[in-house]
Structures are given as C-alpha cells and as structure tokens.
Structure 1
Amino acid sequence: MKEFKLYAITGEEFHQGRDLIEVMEQAILGGVDIIQLRDKTSSKREVLRKAKALRELTHKYNVTFIVNDHIDVALAVDADGIHIGQDDLPLEEARKILGDKIIGISTHKIEEAREAEAGGADYIGVGPIFHTNSKVDVVDPVTTTYIQQVADEISIPFVAIGGIKLHNVDQVLKAGATRICMISEIVGAQDIKGICETFTKILNEKGEV
C-alpha cells in the first residue's frame, strides 16, 4: 500500500451539518492521505451511495480509500481496501474475498498485533490510545505503552488512533508512532483544512528528526 501519515475517518455526527464530501475534501486539501468511510447506522444502499461519492473524490486527489466493514460495498466501488475489527470477518476469510486489496485491522493488545501481522494484514490500527467519544462500546484506552510495544516488535505499518488531539499528539509521536488517525478532531473542526495542515506539519517535522 502507499505510504501514509494522516488518516481521517468519517464521522457524520461531528460534521456540524456539513456535507460529507465537502468535509472530506477539506481534509484531503489539508494533507490527509488516507480516508475511511465508517457508517454503522445507514442502510446498505446509503452506505453504497456515500462510498461511490468518496471513491470519486479520492480518485480525484489520488488518496487511498478504505471502507469500514462492508466488504461488498468496498468491492462494488473498487475501494482500495477495507478495515475490520476484532469481531468482524476473520482476516483469513477477508483475504480470500479481497485478494490483494488492502486489509487493515484494529488491535488493542500486542497479541492481536502479532496475529494480524502473521495473518497478512497490510496495516493495523493501534488504540484507543486515549479516552474517546467517537465510538460506542469502545475498549479501555491502551495508552502510549502499546504504541511502544508495536513500534519495537511489529514490522507492518501501524496507525495510532483514539482520542488523539492537537494537545496530546506529541505523546503519541514520542512513543514511536509515525502515522495518526482521527475522527472528531478532524471532521468536527471549524477549520478542517487548517487543522489537517497543522497535523501534517507536525508529522513531517517528526519524520525529519
């Protein structure tokens, strides 16, 4: 998969009435290089409609497009891949369906990270690092200690997620993360492009150290 640093997930409850495509375009213009459509409540038809629109947007800007969970939708719109959780379709089965498309998987402890790497995941989510209100039924924060474990041991790309904000991102990067993912901090911002530019600058400076 293409290298990435700033990963944004849709969260329409935080969009403040703004259009999904407008919000995600502003994020891309600010430096987001991977987008995930995450919609746990809409009908399949509505998820497909959003996925088509986001696929068109991400093609326009040559940005990686991931669909959360809905493998059929990902295939229907020719998304770059999917993201699955620990309780979703097993990685092995997802790979049979998706072939060489990207598969990311959420992990909350080092055993899950090892299993994902051994199973052929293309990247893993590492989190939630801090307390987050962006997801229901979320597990307890894994803290930056888990980032350090993954950075030391896992060779596939990983992205830190969960409660990451401008005021605590330094802790995440110091622990060893080089890629970060956010929902509300990006899509709920007054100035989406501006906040993404700030995070992009921080990540680029970290990469140059």
Structure 2
Amino acid sequence: MQKLTGLYVIADAACIGNDKIITKTEEVLTTGVKIIQYRDKINSPEDRYKIAAQLRKLTHDHTCLLIINDDAQLALDIDADGVHLGKNDTSIEQARRLLGDDKIIGASCYAQYEDAQIAINASADYIAFGSFFPSTTKPNAPRAEIALLTKAKQQFKTPICAIGGITPQNATNVLTAGADMIAVISAVFNASSPKQAVQEYLSLM
C-alpha cells in the first residue's frame, strides 16, 4: 500500500460544481499531489458514477490515489483505491468485506480519541480528526483540539489526517502536532488558482 502522507485534496461536488470538478481536479493533479478524495452529497447515483469514473481515469494517469467519500459500493464499482467513512455511513467491517484487504479505508473520528481506537481495531488504514479551525465546508463541525493529534500520534501507528479550516498559515501547527496528512477543500478549489494553492501547501511538507 502506498504511504499515506502529505496533502489530501477533497474534490467536493457541492464546492466545485459539476461543470468544473473534472477540469479543476486535473489542474490540481499536475502538481503531483498523491491523494484525491471524491465527495458528493448532491448528485444522483448515476451522475456520481460518471464523475467518479472520470476521476478514476485522471488519478490513474497521474499515479494518484482516489478515495471515495461514504460510498463503498461506488469505490468497488470504479475500482477506486479506497473509501472514507463517516460515523453514520457503512461500517468499516462491512466496507472491508466488500472491498477486500488491499483497499484503503479511512475513518472520520471528529474530535473523539475513542472513535479512533474503535476504527483502528476495525481495520481502518487511516484516521481523520477535525475540525481544528473554522471550516466553510462544515461550519457546525465539532471542534478538535490540536493536542488530540499529539496524543494519537504517540499511541497509534496508523496514519493521521487533520481536516477543517486548514490554511497555509496554520498548517504547520497540525503537522508539528502529529498529522501525517492534511485535508483541504475550499482553500484549494475556491482559490483563483487551485494549482498555486496546492503548491503553497506542498511547500510546507
């Protein structure tokens, strides 16, 4: 399995729009970013499949991992590299049975250390904590303390992803505290130049 580290870019259909999600993601991929997540809470299953299949080809061409948000079946259907699961989604155990041992399963643990322990015991390949800072994508998300990253890093060997309002100005805080990956959405895709925004993050890693 490819090492899970660095910038984790989330291509969110609601943030980007169907008309731009492919072109903007392709622009981001030219930077050499190694992990893309496709998140889609707005489209029909048919449209999600079409977009995901296009993203699968793009990420494959750029030697980049593609993770599907919330939908293990879609991840299986397009042969994505894995799935990211929230608390109310398919269980990690169900996703593992469906996808097999070779696929990546990530788990949102929000601000809960105990959720991370449960996810790791259930075979999660990485855990995600947040929101660490005010987030435009999820303004009402529970706030996580930076110290949670340090505690998790000391206790777990599983890669840790930090998410929520992370900018080039505050990214060093979460990286220093123990995050292996930082996840970004609007800071990249709402930027006038997504490519330049990604390069700014990559320069910190």
Match of 1:29 in 2: 30
2:128 to 125, 129, 150: 125
CA distance in 1, matches of 2:13, 2:96: 29
Report the AA paired with residue 179 of structure 1: M
1:121 Cα deviation after fit: 0.5
1:186 to 185, 188, 192: 188
1:186 Cα deviation after fit: 1.0
**Contact 2:14/2:41 (<8 A) preserved:** no
Structure with more helix by fraction:
1
**Contact 1:33/1:64 (<8 A) preserved:** yes
TM-score w.r.t. length of structure 2: 0.92
Moved more, 80-89 or 5-14: 5-14
For residues 128-167 of structure 1, the aligned pairs below 5 Å read 128-135=131-138, 138-167=140-169
Match of 1:10 in 2: 11
TM-score w.r.t. length of structure 1: 0.91
1:31 Cα deviation after fit: 3.3
CA distance in 2, matches of 1:111, 1:17: 37
Give percent identity, aligned residues only. Answer: 35
For residues 190-209 of structure 1, the aligned pairs below 5 Å read 190-203=192-205
The two structures, once aligned, show a CA RMSD in angstroms of 1.6
**Contact 1:126/1:159 (<8 A) preserved:** yes
**Contact 1:30/1:195 (<8 A) preserved:** no
Q: Which consecutive residues of structure 1, in runs of 5 or more, have no partner in the other structure?
A: 204-209
Report the AA paired with residue 129 of structure 1: F
CA distance in 1, matches of 2:8, 2:158: 16
Aligned residues: 202
Structure 1 residue runs of 4+, over 6 Å off?
none
Q: Which consecutive residues of structure 2, in runs of 5 or more, have no partner in the other structure?
A: none
